[in-house]
């Protein structure tokens, strides 16, 4: 390949890199007003411009924007959509990292070893900055909502005649720190009254509260999260409704759905049903351990394993990498919820998952 096309690639990559850094710099400057991060991004952008000044003057001569096929592809593709500021940040961090990797490879092809090492160093700086940016932009509850072992779900028809309020109180006393409200057959008023009380209880115990399906209800009661399914509103639409502070979970049943969830900006995914379950109506066939193992190895999102998980099989789920596990009737249907929770945690502890 002659040098000219390589310089054309470097010109496009340099522009993409510095444009992405400028977007991030402005975002950190004006949204959280983080002076340190904004300054770090600005310094990196200036450093890249300085170190590539000679290269840029040659690269721009190879520019041919009018005949760039990428422009045609972009113009004829779907319109760009972002579900919030965190989504914008992720997209631009990836843009910068990918551009720097491309610059690194082209510098190697042009026998520019010092620039090659410089671009590699910049890329690793951006990896570190990305973590700091997301920690700044994404509220702690969204990042850490699955930092617990048991994900409990209400199920009034499987609660031995006890109310959801009573069951949730017993869950809290058992040190369960994440509860989802899932009641399909109650009236809107009943759901609202129960969720309002459960929100108060969970807040008193320092626990997280998620509402299933209903983003409006989650907003009304001040829930920490809303969990949606594949046939519900898309994550981007829900994010527009609930804002930046509420976590959004999405049920997934296949590698394709998990990849789409990652791209959509979901904060966590449900992985299942692992086993056959009758707790939820209209549920799909069990996905088994193959899909669970795929998520563990390939999807960098927090996840909760769900579906048909009981005391007798939870160890099989845990040993395959599930750190947060959902149990429904095993807990709501237990005569002694505290005792059942201890039994579950003893099993997990024996698998080396809890200390």
- 81 in a known ligand binding site: no
Q: Which residues pair with 248 in a beta bridge?
A: 226
Q: What span, in angstroms and rounded, lies between the C-alpha atoms of 73 and 71?
A: 5
Q: What is the DSSP string of 260-315?
A: HHHHHT-SEEEE--SS--SSSTTPPPP-HHHHHHHHHHH--S-EEE-SS--TTTHH
Burial class (CB in 10 A: 0-12, 13-18, 19+), 244: middle
- 278 in a known ligand binding site: yes
- 16 in a known ligand binding site: no
Strands (E), 65-148: none
- 131 in a known ligand binding site: no
- 251 in a known ligand binding site: yes
Sign, CA dihedral 216-217-223-225, equals negative
Q: What span, in angstroms and rounded, lies between the C-alpha atoms of 148 and 208?
A: 10
- 308 in a known ligand binding site: yes
Long-range contacts of the stretch 50-56 (C-beta < 8 A, 24+):
51/115, 51/118, 52/14, 52/115, 55/10, 55/14, 55/112, 55/115, 56/11, 56/14
Tokens 């998520």 sit on residue: 295
What are the tokens at 110? 């042009």
- 310 in a known ligand binding site: no
- 329 in a known ligand binding site: yes
Reduced to 3 states (helix: H, G, I; strand: E, B; else coil), residue 127 is: helix
Reduced to 3 states (helix: H, G, I; strand: E, B; else coil), residue 176 is: coil
- 181 in a known ligand binding site: yes
Q: Which residues pair with 178 in a beta bridge?
A: 208
Tokens 């997990």 sit on residue: 348
- 280 in a known ligand binding site: yes
Q: CA angle at residue 130 from 92 to 107, to 5 degrees?
A: 70
What are the tokens at 230? 């594949």
Beta-carbon contacts of 43 under 8 Å, excluding residues fewer than 6 positions away, are none
Q: Which residues participate in the annotated binding site?
A: 180-184, 212-213, 232, 251, 277-280, 308, 328-329
Q: Which residues participate in the annotated binding site for Mg(2+)?
A: 213, 232
């Amino acid at each position: 390949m002659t040098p000219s096309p390589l310089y054309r690639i470097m010109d496009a990559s340099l522009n993409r890199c510095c444009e992405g850094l400028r977007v991030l710099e402005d975002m950190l400057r004006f949204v959280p007003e983080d002076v340190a991060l904004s300054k770090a991004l600005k310094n990196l952008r200036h450093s890249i411009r300085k170190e590539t000044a000679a290269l840029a003057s040659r690269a721009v001569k190879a520019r041919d924007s009018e005949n760039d096929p990428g422009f045609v592809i972009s113009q004829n593709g779907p319109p760009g959509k972002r579900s919030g500021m965190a989504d914008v940040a992720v997209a631009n961090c990836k843009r910068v990292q990918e551009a720097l990797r491309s610059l690194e490879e082209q510098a190697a092809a042009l026998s520019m070893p010092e620039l090659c090492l410089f671009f590699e160093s910049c890329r690793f700086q951006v990896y570190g900055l990305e973590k700091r940016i997301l920690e700044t932009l994404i509220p702690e509850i969204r990042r850490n909502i699955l930092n617990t072992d048991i994900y409990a779900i209400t199920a009034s028809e499987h609660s031995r005649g006890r109310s959801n309020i009573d069951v949730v109180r017993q869950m809290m006393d058992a040190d369960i720190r994440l509860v989802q409200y899932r009641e399909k057959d109650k009236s809107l008023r009943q759901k609202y009254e129960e969720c309002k009380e459960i929100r108060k209880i969970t807040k008193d115990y320092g626990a997280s509260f998620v509402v299933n399906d209903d983003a409006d209800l989650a907003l009304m009661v001040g829930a920490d999260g809303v969990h949606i399914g594949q046939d519900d509103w898309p994550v981007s639409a829900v994010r527009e409704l609930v804002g930046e502070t509420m976590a959004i979970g999405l049920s997934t049943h296949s590698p394709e759905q998990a990849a789409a969830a990652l791209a959509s900006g979901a904060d966590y995914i449900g992985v299942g049903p692992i086993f056959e379950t009758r707790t939820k109506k209209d549920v799909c066939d069990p996905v088994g351990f193959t899909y669970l193992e795929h998520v563990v190895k390939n999807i960098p999102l927090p996840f909760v394993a769900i579906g048909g998980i009981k005391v007798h099989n939870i160890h099989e789920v845990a040993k395959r990498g599930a750190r947060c596990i959902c149990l429904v009737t095993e807990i709501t249907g237990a005569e002694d919820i505290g005792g059942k929770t201890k039994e579950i945690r003893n099993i997990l502890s024996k698998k080396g998952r809890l200390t």
